[in-house]
């Protein structure tokens, strides 16, 4: 089970692929409607020789409390019916493969009397022999056509040499992997069978936060397990998962649920369960599903051409925090701050520059920087996209013809006395000929202290721009900093990468 580290220590995004020896807990929901009943006893008749019956008790006036709403009994969907109708189309996937591992060579003590003898058998540069180690894993999937087409996660079948699909009627079929797309974590399988039950696909766009959803899968190998919950958020972008606007839910999803369907209250598939956010490796209340529209788009591309294609803009971006918003005079901290532009790429040809803030992509607002790659992932290579950007205190629009993600990307005088740049806390000097390392201009950070050092600027960095304006002299830096109010945004080059660093000076 692979894990993707987040910015927060000890918290991980965990691939929900089964690992042995773990115990999981499933969840369910039961709804009950209260039924109020009243009855009036029959009147007693007088018997001969018996006293007349007492006068009947006066009935109390009817209650003035409002009657329960008819909707109160239909809050929960019929999970049992959804499971009964769709469970047979959810499959268990078993994967066998192998990985190469190297066995470390034993450490020899030079003082050992047998040192020279054993040393003869060691090959220089090869401390150990590589060998194949078998691997096994389990996941889930679901049938989308009666002739055996199955959707699952790419990480479920990664490095697989043999894939077996098991149906609920206990039949097993070898599966062929038609294609796998790691960028969206979607894979398409095919088994040779006919008249299979297939699931009805819905729309994740119609989902509302708080709406009931249900998952069926094989957590820890327990086939056709059911869990339910609600949608927690939509369009959630995760670290390193740049092409997927995830659906976040609180449905109990555990290792082995990967690749299984997420249903709406009408029994339609709206997503593929993919990941969990966890400190323990097991479910802790946060799970993520790939929208079904993303999955079907990948499926169609794989069936049509054998692989999925993704659009490319050719920029590196950063989040816009409050310091950046203050530096660039934005109304609020939102958008994707362009830190670097690939030379000759689609963004460069469209006129995008470092320091621009992308506010909208094809009229879709960008709140967090991760929204841009997620929107880009839904675009088509060759498509012309409209970008609304913030540049030098005003909004502008650019047109960019998107490239393809698989295309190769282009690679990104005398010494003077270092001069301190005021309240920034930097000692700066011009670049020498041998220090350019791809930088077209800028100033070398000779020493860093004060506000800049606290923000993360280091000696050796190259200061390229302040608040989006390229810098060429220490005097220019002083003037920009003196005119700034609360903070400045420094574009620095560190090695081959360019990043914006917010520095508070107020």
285-344 pLDDT per residue, tens: 899 999 999 999 999 999 998 889 889 899 888 889 898 899 889 999 999 999 888 888
Q: Cα-flanking dihedrals φ and ψ of residue 498, to 5°?
A: -115, 135
* Cβ partners under 8 Å of residue 50, min gap 6: none
Spatial separation of the C-alpha atoms in residues 394 and 45, rounded to whole Å: 92
- What are the angstrom distances between the C-alpha of 262 and each of 31, 50, 142, 221? 20, 71, 10, 18
Given pLDDT bands bounded at 50, 70 and 90, which one contains residue 502?
Answer: confident
Assign domain 419-504 to a CATH class. mainly beta
Quick one: average pLDDT of 368-393? 89
Q: 3-state DSSP call for residue 211?
A: coil
Residue 333: both structure tokens together = 């901290």
At 181-227, the pLDDT tens digits run 999 999 999 999 999 999 999 999 999 999 999 999 999 989 999 99
Quick: pLDDT tens for 82-140.
999 999 999 999 999 877 665 555 555 566 555 555 554 455 555 555 566 777 889 99
Q: Alpha-carbon torsion 322, 327, 332, 338, what sign? A: negative
CB 336 within 8 A of CB 357: yes
Which top CATH class is 1-19+76-101+127-308?
mainly beta
Cα distance between residue 61 and residue 213, in whole Å: 44
**Structure tokens of 230?**
């609600």
- Three-state SS for 453-492 is HHHCCCCCCEEEEECCEECCCHHHHHHHHHHCCCEEEEEE
In the chain, where does the domain assigned CATH 2.30.42.10 lie? 311-404, 419-504
Three-state SS at 335: coil
Per-residue tokens: 154: 């790419």
Provide the CA 233 distance to its chain's centre, in angstroms.
12
Size of the chain in residues:
506
Alpha-carbon gap, residue 295 to 497, rounded angstroms? 32
Q: What is the pTM of this model?
A: 0.66
Distance (Å, whole) CA 286 – CA 33: 29
What sign has the CA pseudo-torsion 248, 251, 254, 257? Answer: negative
Q: Which residues are known to be catalytic?
A: 155, 185, 258
Pair 334, 367: CB distance under 8 Å:
yes
Domain with CATH 2.40.10.120 in the chain: 1-19+76-101+127-308
Write the CATH number of the domain with boundaries 311-404.
2.30.42.10
Residue 208: DSSP 8-state: -
Which single residue is written with the structure tokens 């199955």? 150
């Amino acid at each position: 089970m692979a894990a993707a580290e987040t910015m927060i220590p000890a918290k991980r995004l965990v691939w929900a692929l089964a690992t042995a020896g773990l115990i999981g807990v499933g969840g369910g929901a039961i709804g009950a409607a209260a039924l109020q009943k009243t009855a009036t006893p029959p009147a007693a008749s007088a018997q001969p020789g018996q006293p007349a019956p007492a006068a009947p008790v006066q009935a109390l006036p009817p209650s003035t409390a409002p009657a329960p709403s008819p909707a109160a009994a239909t809050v929960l969907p019929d999970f049992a019916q959804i499971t009964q109708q769709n469970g047979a189309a959810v499959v268990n996937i078993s994967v066998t493969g192998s990985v190469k591992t190297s066995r470390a060579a034993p450490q020899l003590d030079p003082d050992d009397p047998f040192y020279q003898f054993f040393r003869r058998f060691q090959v220089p540069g090869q401390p150990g022999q590589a060998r194949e180690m078998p691997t096994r894993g389990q996941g889930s999937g679901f049938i989308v056509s009666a002739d055996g087409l199955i959707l699952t996660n790419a990480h479920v079948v990664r490095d697989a040499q043999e894939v077996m699909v098991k149906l609920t009627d206990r039949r097993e079929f070898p599966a062929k992997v038609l294609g796998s797309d790691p960028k969206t974590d979607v894979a398409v399988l095919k088994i040779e069978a006919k008249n299979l039950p297939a699931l009805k696909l819905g729309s994740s766009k119609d989902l509302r936060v708080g709406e009931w959803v249900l998952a069926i899968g094989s957590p820890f190998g327990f086939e056709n397990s059911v869990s339910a919950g609600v949608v927690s958020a939509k369009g959630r972008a995760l670290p390193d998962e740049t092409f997927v606007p995830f659906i976040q839910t609180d449905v109990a999803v555990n290792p082995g649920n990967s690749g299984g369907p997420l249903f709406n209250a009408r029994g339609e598939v709206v997503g593929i369960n993919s990941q969990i956010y966890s400190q323990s490796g097991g479910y802790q209340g946060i799970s993520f599903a790939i929208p079904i529209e993303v999955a079907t788009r990948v499926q169609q591309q794989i069936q049509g051409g054998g692989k999925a294609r993704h659009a490319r803009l050719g920029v590196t971006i950063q989040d816009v925090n409050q310091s950046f918003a203050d530096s660039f005079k934005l109304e609020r901290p939102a958008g994707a701050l362009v830190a670097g532009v690939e030379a000759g790429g689609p963004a460069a040809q469209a006129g995008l520059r470092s320091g621009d803030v992308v506010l909208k992509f094809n009229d879709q607002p960008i709140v967090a920087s991760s929204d841009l790659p997620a929107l880009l992932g839904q675009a088509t290579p060759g498509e012309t996209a409209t970008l609304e950007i913030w540049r030098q205190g005003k909004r502008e629009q650019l047109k960019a013809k998107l490239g393809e993600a698989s295309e190769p990307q282009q690679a990104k005088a005398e010494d003077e006395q270092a001069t301190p740049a005021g309240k920034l806390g930097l000692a700066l000097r011009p670049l020498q000929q041998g220090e350019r390392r791809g930088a077209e201009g800028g100033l070398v950070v000779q020493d860093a202290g004060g506000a800049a050092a606290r923000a993360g600027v280091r000696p050796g960095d190259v200061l390229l721009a302040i608040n989006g304006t390229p810098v060429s002299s220490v005097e220019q830096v002083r003037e920009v900093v003196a005119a700034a109010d609360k903070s400045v945004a420094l574009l620095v080059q560190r090695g081959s990468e360019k990043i914006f660093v917010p520095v508070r000076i107020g």
